[in-house]
Structure 1
Amino acid sequence: MIRLFKHYIPNAVVLLALCDIALLFLAGELGWQLRASQIGMTPGLLSDRSFSMIAFVAMVWIAMVSVGLYGSDALRSLRFACSRLLVAISLGIIAVSVLDYLVPGSGLWRSTLLYAMAFAVMCLIGNRLVVGKFLGTSTFRRRVMVLGAGMHAMRLKKLSEKDGSGFSIVSFVGMNEGEQIVKEAIARSAVHDLGKFAENLGVSEVVLALEERRNSLPLKDLLRMKTTGVHINDFSSFVERETGRVDLDSVNPSWLIFSDGFSSGRMFSSAAKRMFDILASGLLLLLTLPIIVLFAILVKLDNKGPAFFRQPRVGLFGQTFDVIKLRSMRTDAEKDGVKWAEENDPRITRLGRFIRKVRIDELPQTWSVLKGEMSFVGPRPEVPKFVTDLEEQLPYYAERHMVKPGITGWAQINYPYGASIEDARHKLEYDLYYAKNYTPFLDLLILLQTLRVVLWPEGAR
């Protein structure tokens, strides 16, 4: 995997993305050449139309990232990829057309864009037919040896068998430290030289999946493998890298303290994040004010009561603030106390169901972002009662409040809407990953991926 700004990206995804970018340039050039030949115009030098080419490629590729074309679903299903691809190219062309309107004389001809769009569809689908066949092969999967044969090892086995997995386990070695759950594991006593054994198997990484490390670590063998270029990883770090979440079942305070992350050098990043929040929230409030006013009127007409809903939420460092949303529930929704929204919740109004699905009810929260109580990206703020209960039942829940809460977040784009303790636990794993590995790059990725959640709101309630 390639680590980019503390976030890991599978090699197969990087290769696919680079091929897509090259093919988008090709599609743009073919579209220009075809249009030029139709009107009898000399195509000219490629450098003369560099702005239009780069704009076309950038807009379409960003749209592809936004709709999830590099996610696991798109990588394993051609039908899924093709449907999202058509949406992405359409959104990209719309964005380029808007740019052409804003920048007159940019050379982004509508007829050329139409041809480029057609060529892009053919090229990108062809790319997934050709390259996609090789993405799941051993060529792009790291060869991993697992030391351990217990529950941790079994979890790694199941993870490796999932579609889109970036690694394959070539051997399990039981370290004689408990019950052997993985039956195909080789006993440690049967391996004379662990380093030579790993070399013969072509292992690129060793994962310590030991239930109990005491007197079980083969330190000399691990040191020898490390010096020959084999990557040595512990179970928690490996799962974090492969899944994009902090595994609460295996982490302990010492791992959180000594592992890479929670960097103190975030002054510049935090300042840049705050500047972005101020500029983006101000602009978004200005652009969406007519929509907010319109739906505020519709909310009052649909159901008697206030148009806006205020509720205390827990923010940065555990401080409370009032979150503001367009009201989507009946005014007596919390007469029996606050509780999670359920599927087909009867408290939600007719209009409320719609504005929740398309996230219009979230727009007034940009005021909280402008005031500095929230950010665009961060863990979702919860009500104080839920926080008190969850801190008692879930380890490290308070650590999610070490970063400013957000309108969207890593948990929101990776896990559907949750309405139980177990759901809160899964979302906490993603929130901790964000708090641990925050960078502006991860914020940008989350903002782009939020479009996918808005367009396909599988988990909205």
Structure 2
Amino acid sequence: MLGKRIFDIIFSVLVCVFVLSWLTPLIAIIIFLESGENIFFTQERIGRFGKPFTIYKFKSMKGVPPVNDPLLSNDEKNRITKFGKFMRAYRIDEFPQFVNVLLGEMSIVGPRPERQQFLDKVIAKIPKYKEMQQLKPGITSIGQIKYGYADNTSQMLKRARYDLIYLDNLSYWTDFKVIFDTIKVVFKGTGK
């Protein structure tokens, strides 16, 4: 949808200019003081039509995740920093993904981008989920609002089922409702 792409670009430019421009240096200082590590976390995720892309986030964990043994957030809770917990609660760690939106790899609203190993598990249990790959992955989704970071495979499957509701109800109205609900999560700090 051309209108959706235009909205994504305008919204992302506004966020980059009016939020990321001052937020990024501030986050960089706090992350460096707390852990002495790089500000950004990057990871390969699967996008539209199964095409891999690099997702960007503010780093909320110490160290480097295992490459050949992908873990869910529950398996890595001991690596989450204090500031990382704060960023996750308010979804601040997700803000660099507006760059992914500008690059055309993501949309503001869409299914949560997964790693290939977990995407395969979801599709094995819910074959219809393969249809989600017709859409660009999103910074936020119905499943992300309901579950946030999936702590285990069971939650990932529940989140996937909510995202299928989005697939069946594609509209500008649905996108605005998801964005509004996400803003409520951000301001309340109820994300996980």
Same fold (TM over 0.5): yes
The alignment status of 1:287 with 2:13, answered yes or no, reads no
Which residue pairs with 1:320 in the alignment? 52
The alignment status of 1:383 with 2:115, answered yes or no, reads yes
- The C-alpha deviation readout for 1:10-31, integer Å capped at 9, x for no partner, is xxxxxxxxxxxxxxxxxxxxxx
Match runs of 1:28-67 below 5 Å: none
In the aligned structure 2, how far is the partner of 1:406 from the partner of 1:317?
14
Contact persistence 2:73–2:152 (CA under 8 A): no
Which residue pairs with 2:2 in the alignment? 271
Which residue pairs with 1:203 in the alignment? none
In structure 1, the gaps of 5 or more residues are 1-269
Which residue pairs with 2:167 in the alignment? 435
Contact persistence 2:61–2:79 (CA under 8 A): yes
In the aligned structure 2, how far is the partner of 1:313 from the partner of 1:434?
20
Match runs of 1:214-293 below 5 Å: 270-288=1-19, 289-293=21-25
Match runs of 1:171-186 below 5 Å: none
Which residue pairs with 2:35 in the alignment? 303
**Residues 337 and 457 of structure 1, relative CA distance in 2, 3 Å threshold:** farther
More helix by share: 2
**Residue 325 of structure 1: CA displacement?**
0.6
**Residues 298 and 310 of structure 1, relative CA distance in 2, 3 Å threshold:** same
Structure of higher RCO (CA pairs closer than 8 Å, 6+ residues apart): 2
In the aligned structure 2, how far is the partner of 1:445 from the partner of 1:401?
22
- The C-alpha deviation readout for 1:125-144, integer Å capped at 9, x for no partner, is xxxxxxxxxxxxxxxxxxxx
Contact persistence 1:416–1:458 (CA under 8 A): no
| Alignment RMSD (CA, Å) | 1.9
Secondary structure of 1:295's aligned partner: helix
Contact persistence 1:402–1:435 (CA under 8 A): no
Which residue pairs with 1:356 in the alignment? 88
In the aligned structure 2, how far is the partner of 1:432 from the partner of 1:451?
21
**Residues 307 and 447 of structure 1, relative CA distance in 2, 3 Å threshold:** same
Larger radius of gyration: 1
Contact persistence 1:281–1:366 (CA under 8 A): yes
Aligned residue among 447, 450, 461 for 2:182:
450
Secondary structure of 1:346's aligned partner: helix
Secondary structure of 1:300's aligned partner: helix
Which residue pairs with 2:103 in the alignment? 371
Which residue pairs with 1:120 in the alignment? none
- The residue type equivalent to 1:300 in the other structure is F
Match runs of 1:128-147 below 5 Å: none
In the aligned structure 2, how far is the partner of 1:459 from the partner of 1:277?
22
TM-score, reference length from structure 2: 0.91
**Residue 395 of structure 1: CA displacement?**
2.4
Secondary structure of 2:55's aligned partner: strand
Secondary structure of 1:407's aligned partner: strand
**Residue 336 of structure 1: CA displacement?**
6.8
Contact persistence 2:73–2:149 (CA under 8 A): no
The count of residues paired between Structure 1 and Structure 2 equals 191
Report sequence identity in percent.
36
**Residue 422 of structure 1: CA displacement?**
2.0
Secondary structure of 1:321's aligned partner: strand
In the aligned structure 2, how far is the partner of 1:422 from the partner of 1:456?
26
In the aligned structure 1, how far is the partner of 2:148 from the partner of 2:84?
19
**Residues 420 and 367 of structure 1, relative CA distance in 2, 3 Å threshold:** same
Secondary structure of 2:158's aligned partner: helix
- The C-alpha deviation readout for 1:212-250, integer Å capped at 9, x for no partner, is xxxxxxxxxxxxxxxxxxxxxxxxxxxxxxxxxxxxxxx
Which residue pairs with 2:143 in the alignment? 411
Secondary structure of 1:396's aligned partner: helix
**Residues 413 and 335 of structure 1, relative CA distance in 2, 3 Å threshold:** closer
In structure 2, the gaps of 5 or more residues are none
Secondary structure of 1:345's aligned partner: helix
Contact persistence 1:313–1:383 (CA under 8 A): yes
